[in-house]
Structure 1
Amino acid sequence: MALSREEIAARYGAAMFGYAQDMKVLDSVHEELAELKKAVEANPAIIGVLSDPILNKGEKKKTLSVIEESFSDEVQGFLNLLLEYDRFAYLIPIIDRFNDFYDQEKSIASGTATTAVKLDDDQLKRLGDSFAKKYHLNAVRLENQVDPSILGGVILQVKDRVIDGSVKNKLKKIRAQLIDEN
């Protein structure tokens, strides 16, 4: 039975996380995989070449050796493992799963701050820090989405928690109270 994309990503991501943790290089591997992900997203042809069934393993190994030369032994070994087992097509989802495990281990959460106007980096950081402190997390990384229909305020969504502090929501509550009173 063939494994799904999610199963492959979960297995390899967990394996890499466990290995990096055992070797006590978790933070450095996390940084290297983040750089690798950026590079691959900027040049998706890399994955195409390294997962191409027509190219032989020798050609792929030469290509990979050029890419991996600046990485640690742990990341190099991981990339060679992916190449050996023809899993390079799943590199991005594997890195994403590794990051999920890393974030869970380090009590880091990611989320979205929806606002009527764009927030600058400092405002996003302060908002994330405030949320992290309130919910006992080490850090919260926020992305900003702009939605003028909320009129003002912020809708914060982190993991399964949503805090709706939008003007639109407050007006809706006031309207509901007025209707209930009549």
Structure 2
Amino acid sequence: MALSKAEIAARYGTALFDYAQDMDALTAVHADLQELAEAISNYPQILKVFSDPIFNSAEKAHSLSVIAQGLTKEVQNFLNLLLDYDHFLELPAIIDCFNSLYNQKEKIATGVAISAVALDEQQLQKLGAGYAQKYGLKKVILKNEVDQGLIGGVVLKVGDCVIDGSVKNKLNKIRAQLINKN
């Protein structure tokens, strides 16, 4: 029975995480995977080269050795494993799985700060630091989305938690209170 892409990503991501942890190289592997994710994001055709049947295995192995130079031995071995088992296309999902496990272990959360106007990096870091302190996390990495319908304030979405500090939400609460009093 063939595994789905999600199952492959979960198995390989978990295996790489465990392997990196056993080799005491978790931080270095994480850093390498972030570089790979950025490279794949900028040049998605990289994945296609390693899954294209036009190229023989020797050509793919040579190309991979060039790309993997400077990466940790653990990541190099892992990329060769993906190439051998023809799962290179799943690399972005595998990296996502690894990152989830890494963030969970390191108490790092990611989320979205939705605001009526664009927030700068300093504002996002300040919001993230406040959230991290309140919920016992080491770090919260926030991305910003703009929704002019909020009027003002910020809605934070981190994991399953939503903190709605928007003006729109406050006005809706006041409106509900006025309706209930009548």
Bin of the TM-score, shorter chain as denominator length: over 0.9
Instruction: Please report how far the alpha carbon of residue 22 of structure 1 lies from its aligned counterpart in structure 2 after TM superposition.
Output: 0.4
Task: Give distance in 2, aligned partners of 1:14 and 1:111.
Answer: 22
Q: Any gaps of 5 or more consecutive residues in structure 1?
A: none
Letter in 2 for 1:130: G
Task: Give distance in 1, aligned partners of 2:41 and 2:161.
Answer: 29
Q: Match of 2:83?
A: 83
Instruction: Please report how far the alpha carbon of residue 54 of structure 1 lies from its aligned counterpart in structure 2 after TM superposition.
Output: 3.0
Q: Match of 2:180?
A: 180
SS of equivalent residue, structure 1 residue 118: coil
Instruction: Please report how far the alpha carbon of residue 72 of structure 1 lies from its aligned counterpart in structure 2 after TM superposition.
Output: 1.2
Instruction: Please report how far the alpha carbon of residue 52 of structure 1 lies from its aligned counterpart in structure 2 after TM superposition.
Output: 1.1
Task: Give distance in 2, aligned partners of 1:28 and 1:55.
Answer: 31
Q: Match of 2:99?
A: 99
Task: Give distance in 2, aligned partners of 1:52 and 1:107.
Answer: 38
Task: For residues 64-113 of structure 1, give each alpha carbon's deviation from its aligned partner in whole angstroms, at most 9, with x where no partner exists.
Answer: 11101111111100000000000001010000100000000001000000
Could you tell me the TM-score, scaled by structure 1's length?
A: 0.99
Instruction: Please report how far the alpha carbon of residue 56 of structure 1 lies from its aligned counterpart in structure 2 after TM superposition.
Output: 1.4
Letter in 2 for 1:154: V
Q: Match of 2:34?
A: 34
Select between 54-63 and 118-127 the one with higher mean Cα deviation. Answer: 54-63
Task: Give distance in 1, aligned partners of 2:92 and 2:51.
Answer: 13
Q: Any gaps of 5 or more consecutive residues in structure 2?
A: none
Pair 1:23-2:12 in alignment: no
Q: Match of 1:7?
A: 7
Letter in 2 for 1:89: L
Letter in 2 for 1:47: L
Name the % identity.
Answer: 57
Could you tell me the TM-score, scaled by structure 2's length?
A: 0.99
- Give RMSD over aligned pairs: 0.6
Letter in 1 for 2:61: K
Map 1:108-147 to 2 at 5 A: 108-147=108-147
Task: Give distance in 2, aligned partners of 1:126 and 1:96.
Answer: 25
Letter in 1 for 2:84: E
User: Number of paired residues?
Assistant: 182
Pair 1:163-2:157 in alignment: no
Select between 65-74 and 76-85 the one with higher mean Cα deviation. Answer: 65-74
Divergent runs of 4+, >2 A: none
Instruction: Please report how far the alpha carbon of residue 51 of structure 1 lies from its aligned counterpart in structure 2 after TM superposition.
Output: 1.0
Letter in 1 for 2:31: E
SS of equivalent residue, structure 1 residue 144: strand
SS of equivalent residue, structure 1 residue 81: helix
Letter in 2 for 1:59: E
